[in-house]
Amino acid sequence: MTVLVTGGAGYIGSHMVWSLLDNGEDVVVLDRLSTGFRWALAPEARLYVGDVADPNLLDSIFKNHQIEAIIHFAGSVVVPDSVSDPLSYYENNTVKSRALIAAAVAAGVPHFVFSSTAAVYGTPQDSQPVAENAALNPESPYGWSKLMTEIMLRDTAAATPLTYTALRYFNVAGSDPKRRTGQSTAGATHLIKVACEVALGKRSRLSVYGTDYPTTDGTCVRDYIHVSDLTSAHLKALKRMRAGGRSIVANCGYGRGFSVLDVVDCVKRVSGNDFEVSLVDRRPGDAASVIANAEVARREFDWVPEYDDLDLIVQTALAWEDLLSKRNDK
């Protein structure tokens, strides 16, 4: 049986492919390579280059491989971009996910793991850490596009044999401890990625967007999860569905938050480099503080994070950034 990973040449997707192969799985990747890289993939992974909603390509994949599960990462992820160009996000994240889900049902694929987001909560109105049953109030088209896909999966699972797991990611960071892949997209907006680039001289400065949020130091607070712990949660979610587990939604985070300035201080300390920080106005769509209650994942998946340490997350991100510099110099 084979696992299809959409967006498998991207940041999180490539880590997922390596984790699946490390665990003896047969893997097929579908990626249009808009932000992903061929070289990020393991040689054993078979790559189809194309769009996740291409019906002919999907039909070919399902005919050529016995797909038992889909892990769906393909999509657009930059919150401010979704505010300025919402229709492209609804097209890329929602409409194309609908096409993929329909193709999966038609092909009889039994299991589906969806890359969702904590952005579905917006700024939580209830106490934090936020649990899966909290009010859903996205503050950006990005968050809405992901929530709409969750709803499609819920309703499809109620009407068909498809079983799904929707994992709501908090802020994913770090890189493969074995240095096989990492966050490599040019112009990436992830805070730890950007801060590491500035610390190593790849960017001239770091902008902190908003210092007047209702948080301890006025900057946004997030729950940062190492990418390898995230892929571990996917593996365990898939194992649970294979064993007959019902469809479920689960948060993926550590349950504690760090402000933007906490992260900046950590990157400076771990890298040993000081750098310029610009304090600028808020960006549209950013929630003030979002911290995960991940007890569902721990209980249902028997998920035990291994990299729950901000210093360690930053160390792996810096190590990849250094390696990436040497790769790009060749």
User: Per-residue pLDDT tens for 159-196?
Assistant: 999 999 999 999 999 999 999 999 998 888 899 999 99
Is 273 a domain residue? yes
Say if residue 202 is in the same domain as residue 244.
no
Three-state secondary structure call for residue 275: coil
Cα separation of 43 and 38, whole Å?
9
Burial of residue 38 (CB within 10 Å: 0-12, 13-18, 19+) is: exposed
Say if residue 210 is in the same domain as residue 160.
no
Q: Domain containing 116: what range?
A: 2-173+226-252
Res 136: pLDDT: 95
Neighbours of 312 (CB within 10 A): 15
Neighbours of 217 (CB within 10 A): 12
Say if residue 121 is in the same domain as residue 82.
yes
pLDDT > 60? residue 329: no
pLDDT tens sequence across 71-115: 999 999 998 899 999 999 999 999 999 999 999 999 999 999 999
Say if residue 74 is in the same domain as residue 166.
yes
Say if residue 14 is in the same domain as residue 161.
yes
Whole-number mean pLDDT of the chain? 95
Q: pTM for this structure?
A: 0.95
Is 200 a domain residue? yes
Is 82 a domain residue? yes
Looking from the CA of 178 toward its CB, the CA atoms found within 13 Å total: 9
Is 182 a domain residue? no
Is 205 a domain residue? yes
pLDDT tens sequence across 214-270: 999 999 999 999 999 999 999 999 999 999 999 999 999 999 999 999 999 999 999
Cα separation of 152 and 55, whole Å?
18
Say if residue 12 is in the same domain as residue 132.
yes
pLDDT > 70? residue 316: yes
CATH number at residue 265: 3.90.25.10
Is 181 a domain residue? no
Assign 328 a pLDDT band (cuts: 50, 70, 90).
low
Q: Which of 142, 169, 213, 224 is catalytic?
A: 142
pLDDT tens sequence across 32-64: 999 999 999 989 999 999 999 999 999 999 999
Say if residue 215 is in the same domain as residue 316.
yes
Is 104 a domain residue? yes
Say if residue 235 is in the same domain as residue 270.
no
Is 144 a domain residue? yes
Res 88: pLDDT: 97
Cα separation of 193 and 51, whole Å?
27
Say if residue 129 is in the same domain as residue 203.
no
pLDDT tens sequence across 126-165: 778 999 999 999 999 999 999 999 999 999 999 999 999 9
Res 241: pLDDT: 98
- Number of domains present in the structure of the chain: 2
Res 298: pLDDT: 97
CATH number at residue 75: 3.40.50.720
Res 124: pLDDT: 86
Q: Clarify whether 142 is annotated catalytic.
A: yes
pLDDT > 70? residue 5: yes
Residue 274, both tokens:
């000081």
Say if residue 14 is in the same domain as residue 39.
yes
Structural element, H or E, at residue 20: helix 11-22
Q: What percentage of the chain has pLDDT greater than the value 90? A: 91
Say if residue 75 is in the same domain as residue 198.
no
Burial of residue 283 (CB within 10 Å: 0-12, 13-18, 19+) is: middle
- Is-contact 199 275, C-beta < 8 A? yes
Q: What angle do CA 140, 10, 165 make, to 5 degrees?
A: 65
Say if residue 10 is in the same domain as residue 142.
yes
